[in-house]
Amino acid sequence: MTPEHDANLPAILRWYTKAIRFFAGTSLLVIVVVVLAQVLARYVFNTSLIWAEELCRYLLIWQTFLLAGYAFQRGEMVAVDIIPNLLSPKANFVLKLILAVPILWFLWVLTTSGYAYSQRFSNQIIPAFDFIWNSITGKRAAVPISLVYISVAIGCALLAMHIIGALVADFLALRSHKEQPAQHHMPEF
């Protein structure tokens, strides 16, 4: 999404987009630094950071689920658009609506199941964070593993909101197109 498109979004959506971008960049930077530190520790100092792989795995899980909705918003999901390109705008919208029903139902199932699963393991701690915190402070860290598992529920709920938002935007565009006379203009080069 370009900055010109961002200016047209409501303030809360601009904040959401900025927060998602910040998370994407920051988490990727952390992963790169941790992996480089792990490689340095292993091949230069002949030791290992036992928490590095676990931390990177958890960050990748969060990235996957949180950024799926953003990728959808930007049109970066894989799509086969042969049939939609052959349809009229109204028929294309109807097709999107029909396809959205099972997708949204599946995302609802993943959201509720993901939340239930995360709550089931709320007493289990994350070993890597416990090790890091114990090494630094000498005390145990009780960071629950449910903070990793809840990413499924949050990510699926956000993706569902992106899909619903896209359907609403398509409906409003289709509706405003009907109300206005057709406008023809020269393609931009």
H helices of 46-145, where? 52-73, 82-86, 89-120, 127-137
Please tell me whether the overall predicted TM-score, pTM, comes out greater than 0.85 for this model: no
At residue 164, φ and ψ (nearest 5 deg) are: -65, -45
CA dihedral for 16, 20, 21, 27, sign (positive or negative): positive
- Give which of 154, 141, 123, 125 is closest to 61, Cα–Cα: 154
Q: How far apart are CA 126 and CA 152, in angstroms?
A: 17
Token representation of residue 111: 């959201």
Find the length of the chain.
189
What pLDDT was estimated at residue 95? 87
- The helix/strand count (H/E) of the chain reads as 7, 0
Q: Which parts of the chain sit beneath pLDDT 50?
A: 1-4, 180-189
> Measured between alpha carbons, how far is residue 183 from residues 13, 57, 170, 173, 176 in Å?
29, 51, 18, 14, 12
